[in-house]
A = this chain, B = another copy of it.
């Protein structure tokens, strides 16, 4: 007597969550230090001290009835202005505060944007491998998911595949760079290729194709790699941002939607975003954390720990002979499975107490995701386990 699709979704435990739960039990059985849990993308570094200071100061110095009041639905005007200023100063892009809508994090940014832009009969292109919740969010609007595979050698977009995937029903494409699950950062060359293809298809089909840039990992890059700011390269862009990873505040749910002023019908897109936020039950983004953004935007948690993990893990895996594409961002590493069935490979890894996530749910079989937002000690201790896993495939089977 409940909605069947929601029941199925509520019961469909995420594979990642199941592995994590297994890990919790296993740690009790054999000791936490003996389980190498690389399953969850849960930030392990603290928020910058300025975030805690700002929150404490706001609580001490602001009238609570003002501090915790409803903001207007798109957010506090000064907060929206601070986001626009930051985007201008950082990327040289003339964002408009009137087209910025504060949200309860990345998932909310995506559901609100998708609900505003697509519906039954529409198609949304996603680049595999991709965050599995995209399917949930897109299907809830009634639209259809059209996945295309990225190139396995570098996880950059395959222009031919993209060009073929776009039909007259394509209304949007989701881009996620730095990427979950690969850690890849889309190169400027890839971005320009995507922009050219989308522009060509817009002209051919006579309607806009909105590029939804899902960028919760924007600031998490290593070795000086740059993440091109998509609104600079493609007019019909909507940025879905979250502070979850940059400020290490995943549970607090704070982010924003930025509609490019250059987008087709930009004002309509923004109004539809407001309507969608209202229909889905997002009254305003949490007010204390909105006010925090005014003072803390541009700060980034100390991600040197992630980088150290990344470099050591790459070294270990390469040493063991695994086939790995060096990730430039986020805190994930995508590694080729040593047998075609990644689920079977993960089961064998589990015998070594290594908890890895098979790539099937990300839409690209034959790989595993390793979330390295863990302690450095865990990386070090896992070396022998990875070696035993690699050895177990020696001599064929």
Q: Mark A63-74, 1 if CB is under 8 A from B, else 0.
A: 111011111000
Q: A69-B42, A253-B284 are in contact. Are A279 and B140 (CB under 8 A)?
A: yes
Of the residues B51, B65, B276, B283, contact of A3 by C-beta under 8 Å: B276
B52 close to A65 (CB less than 8 A): no
User: Would you call A204 an interface residue if the criterion is a C-beta within 8 Å of the partner chain's C-beta atoms?
Assistant: no
Complex Cα spacing A296 to B284, Å: 22
Q: Mark A278-291, 1 if CB is under 8 A from B, else 0.
A: 11111111111110
Chain B residues, CB < 8 A from A274: 9-10
Interface size for A (C-beta < 8 A) is 81
B52 close to A252 (CB less than 8 A): no
What residues of chain A have their CB less than 8 Å away from a CB belonging to chain B?
Answer: 1-3, 5-12, 42-47, 51-52, 55-56, 59-60, 63-65, 67-71, 104-105, 107-112, 115-119, 133, 136-137, 140, 171, 207-208, 248-253, 264-265, 268-276, 278-290
**Shortest CB distance A207–B (Å):** 6
Of all chain B residues, which has the CB nearest A247?
Answer: B68
Complex Cα spacing A51 to B67, Å: 12
**Shortest CB distance A198–B (Å):** 14
Identify the 8 closest CB pairs spanning chains A and B, nearest first. Answer: A251-B287, A10-B275, A111-B281, A9-B275, A10-B274, A10-B271, A6-B275, A2-B272
Chain B residues, CB < 8 A from A11: 271, 275
Main SS of the interface on chain A? helix
Complex Cα spacing A10 to B101, Å: 12
**Shortest CB distance A305–B (Å):** 11
Of all chain B residues, which has the CB nearest A236?
Answer: B1
26 residue pairs from A and B, CB less than 8 Å apart: A1-B208, A2-B265, A2-B268, A2-B272, A3-B119, A5-B275, A6-B272, A6-B279, A7-B275, A8-B275, A10-B116, A55-B288, A56-B59, A59-B59, A65-B248, A67-B251, A68-B251, A69-B250, A69-B251, A108-B281, A108-B283, A137-B279, A251-B288, A280-B281, A286-B289, A288-B288
Of all chain B residues, which has the CB nearest A253?
Answer: B286
Q: A2-B272, A272-B7 are in contact. Are A248 and B64 (CB under 8 A)?
A: yes
Of all chain B residues, which has the CB nearest A109?
Answer: B281
Of all chain B residues, which has the CB nearest A47?
Answer: B64
A55 close to B59 (CB less than 8 A): yes
Known: A3-B275, A6-B272, A46-B63. 8 other contacts (CB 8 A): A1-B265, A2-B117, A6-B115, A7-B275, A56-B59, A109-B281, A136-B279, A137-B281
Chain B residues, CB < 8 A from A9: 274-276, 278-279
Chain B residues, CB < 8 A from A276: 3, 6, 9-10
A43 close to B65 (CB less than 8 A): yes
Chain B residues, CB < 8 A from A6: 115-116, 272-273, 275-276, 279
